């Protein structure tokens, strides 16, 4: 049993509007066993003398952050697709070219480096929306879950927890066109065969849990949506779905089904507390009502939505409707949870030309406990007794953060200010460096391998 006492200069505790100074955090193995604010009275152990053995955490210590929406291989496109014109659909063609180059070995190397990059930004748990299942052309590997297993191993080596959201991807359009070309790798034929493949997968390790995803209403026919939703319900597993990222998806759904994608999902039993809709950039008012009434979550991916010219989702309106918000870096044009967080507020300002839509503590919840809960880890993302021992310490003395009020960290810090990350009681990032992955070198090597 590893028992550690950490002394945080500031720690952001649950339900607090702002960080608390001088907090003693005790952990045993992978759990938080004590949280004592010393400046406000403390306990009998609060004297400075007994703290000589405590590990000092200068700066602001946050709970572990959750990256609730990731496609690890998209990281290979960063900085390669940003010049020239185009939109989501032309970007997607370039993304497919990278997908065609991946096999289980190259995917392991790339995802290990990408997950380690996430750790450097304070991410302790990731939701991988995984649809790259089969060989090019669609033939299964000898082990049909070889690509998923590569992601599970990658997360283990990078030291973060993973929810593998195994994605059902069957058709190329809302009206049911067959998968062709690079998309053939994604398909299992039908939802029943998708479920059989996933049921045959028992990922190894305490760091992983299995969830389900419906790629979108473009990719799963309406009559098969309930099969995927039913699988998730039976397994008590999280269920994610891309939703209304593009107006074109809404238009196509109306043309084929006579309703919005959100209405279609509601009518087929997809919405609910265990479900997270990713993006929800273009919902109608009625859609927001359906999501809120069913307590379906929404994962915003602001830096990707910005990069792909998707638009700005109605974040405040959705939160007011009772929708839990979480955050994801999705295409990994940027992996910096501070940038995702502040974009939630700043994008709303651009749209409304007013400031002050989200309290800093609401943003913390989206980046931490709500994100972990959306991935099925309800015991993560809070510095509280019984919670997982994830601690992310941000410098308050860098060129970006010097002089800021600790609660203002979202608007000042970047991933580069993350000094230390503890995941399940283990130090994973120390002095801003991953303890076992040379992240820049491994990223460069892995990306060269799949883009050449
Ligand atoms: Zn996505």
Residues 38-71 pLDDT 10s: 986 555 455 555 578 899 999 999 999 999 999 9
- Structural contact between residues 74 and 331, judged by C-beta atoms closer than 8 angstroms: yes
- The pLDDT assigned to 43 comes to 52
Cα distance between residue 399 and residue 417, in whole Å = 9
Provide the β-strand partners of residue 213.
Answer: 167, 240
Q: Which two tokens stand for residue 416?
A: 């580069």
Cα distance between residue 175 and residue 173, in whole Å = 5
Element containing residue 126 per DSSP (H, E)? strand 123-130
Provide the β-strand partners of residue 396.
Answer: none
Asked about 279 being catalytic, the answer comes back as yes
pLDDT category at 1 given cuts 50, 70, 90 is low
> 152 CB contacts (<8 Å, ≥6 apart)?
162, 164, 203, 204, 205, 208
Q: Which two tokens stand for residue 24?
A: 């003693």
* 142 Cα–ligand 1 center, Å: 27
Q: For tokens 């991807």, what's the residue? A: 169
* 249 Cα–ligand 1 center, Å: 14
* pLDDT, tens digit (0-9, with 9 covering 90-100), for 303-360: 999 988 889 999 999 999 999 999 999 999 999 999 999 999 999 999 999 999 999 9
* pLDDT, tens digit (0-9, with 9 covering 90-100), for 392-414: 999 999 999 999 999 999 999 99
Asked about 320 being catalytic, the answer comes back as no
- Structural contact between residues 213 and 219, judged by C-beta atoms closer than 8 angstroms: no
* pLDDT, tens digit (0-9, with 9 covering 90-100), for 235-269: 999 999 999 999 999 999 999 999 999 999 999 99
* 242 Cα–ligand 1 center, Å: 6
* 70 Cα–ligand 1 center, Å: 7
* 362 Cα–ligand 1 center, Å: 23
* 69 Cα–ligand 1 center, Å: 6
* 328 Cα–ligand 1 center, Å: 9
* pLDDT, tens digit (0-9, with 9 covering 90-100), for 65-112: 999 999 999 999 998 876 666 677 777 888 888 888 999 999 999 999
The catalytically annotated residue of 133, 215, 240, 279 is 279
Taking residues 199-223, what's their average pLDDT? 97
Q: What are phi and psi of 132, to 5 degrees?
A: -90, 75
- The pLDDT assigned to 394 comes to 98
* 71 Cα–ligand 1 center, Å: 6
Say yes or no to pLDDT of 215 above 90. Answer: yes
- The pLDDT assigned to 99 comes to 87
Report DSSP letters for 272-286, one per residue: STTEEEEE--S--HH
The catalytically annotated residue of 307, 330, 347, 390 is 330
Q: Which two tokens stand for residue 162?
A: 């993973």
Query: What's the predicted TM-score (pTM) here?
Result: 0.96
Average pLDDT of the chain, as a whole number? 95
Q: Which two tokens stand for residue 340?
A: 């995702």
* 301 Cα–ligand 1 center, Å: 8
* 236 Cα–ligand 1 center, Å: 22
pLDDT category at 293 given cuts 50, 70, 90 is very high
Comparing CA positions, the residue from 393, 367, 386 lying closest to residue 8 is 393
* 215 Cα–ligand 1 center, Å: 8
Taking residues 442-451, what's their average pLDDT? 95
Cα distance between residue 359 and residue 238, in whole Å = 27
* 258 Cα–ligand 1 center, Å: 25
Comparing CA positions, the residue from 346, 355, 335 lying closest to residue 434 is 335
Say yes or no to pLDDT of 436 above 70. Answer: yes
**Three-state secondary structure call for residue 204:** coil
Q: What are phi and psi of 125, to 5 degrees?
A: -150, 140
* pLDDT, tens digit (0-9, with 9 covering 90-100), for 264-290: 999 999 999 999 999 999 999 999 999
């Amino acid at each position: 049993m590893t028992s550690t006492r950490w002394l945080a200069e500031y720690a952001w505790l649950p339900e607090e509007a702002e960080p608390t100074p001088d907090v003693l955090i005790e952990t045993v193995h992978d759990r938080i066993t004590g949280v004592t604010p010393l400046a406000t009275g403390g306990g009998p152990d609060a004297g400075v003398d007994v703290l000589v053995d405590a590990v000092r955490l200068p700066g602001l210590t946050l709970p572990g952050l959750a990256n609730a929406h990731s496609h690890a291989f998209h990281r290979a496109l960063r900085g390669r697709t940003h010049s020239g014109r185009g939109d989501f659909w032309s970007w997607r063609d370039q993304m497919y070219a990278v997908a065609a180059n991946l096999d289980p070995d190259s995917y392991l190397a790339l995802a290990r480096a990408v997950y380690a990059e996430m750790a450097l930004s304070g991410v302790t748990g990731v939701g991988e929306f995984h649809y790259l299942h089969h060989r090019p052309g669609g033939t299964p590997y000898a082990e049909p879950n070889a690509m998923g297993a590569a992601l599970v191993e990658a997360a283990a080596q990078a030291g973060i927890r993973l929810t593998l959201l195994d994605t059902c991807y069957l058709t190329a359009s809302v009206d049911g066109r067959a998968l062709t070309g690079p998309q053939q790798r994604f398909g299992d034929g039908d939802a029943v065969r998708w479920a059989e493949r996933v049921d045959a997968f028992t990922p190894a390790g305490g760091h992983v849990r299995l969830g389900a995803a419906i790629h979108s209403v473009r990719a799963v026919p309406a009559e098969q949506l309930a099969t995927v939703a039913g699988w998730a319900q039976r397994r008590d597993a999280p269920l994610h779905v891309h939703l209304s990222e593009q107006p074109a998806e809404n238009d196509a759904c109306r043309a084929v089904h006579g309703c919005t994608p959100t209405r279609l999902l509601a009518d087929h039993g997809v919405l609910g507390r265990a479900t997270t809709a990713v993006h929800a950039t273009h919902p109608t008012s009625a859609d927001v009502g359906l999501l809120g009434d069913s307590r379906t979550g929404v994962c915003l991916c602001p830096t990707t939505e910005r990069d792909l010219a998707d638009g700005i989702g109605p974040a405040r309106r959705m939160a007011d409707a009772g929708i839990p918000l979480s955050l994801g870096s999705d295409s990994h044009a940027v992996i910096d949870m501070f940038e995702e967080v502040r974009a939630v507020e700043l994008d709303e300002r651009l749209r409304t030309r007013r400031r002050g839509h989200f309290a800093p503590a609401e943003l913390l919840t989206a980046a931490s406990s709500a994100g972990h809960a959306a991935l099925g880890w309800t015991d993560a993302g809070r510095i509280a007794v019984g919670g997982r021992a994830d601690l992310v310490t941000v410098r308050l003395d860098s060129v970006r953060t010097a002089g800021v009020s600790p609660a203002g960290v979202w608007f000042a810090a970047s991933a580069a200010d993350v000094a230390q990350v503890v995941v399940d009681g283990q130090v994973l990032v120390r002095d801003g460096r991953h303890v076992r992955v040379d992240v820049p070198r491994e990223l460069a090597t892995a990306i060269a391998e799949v883009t050449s």
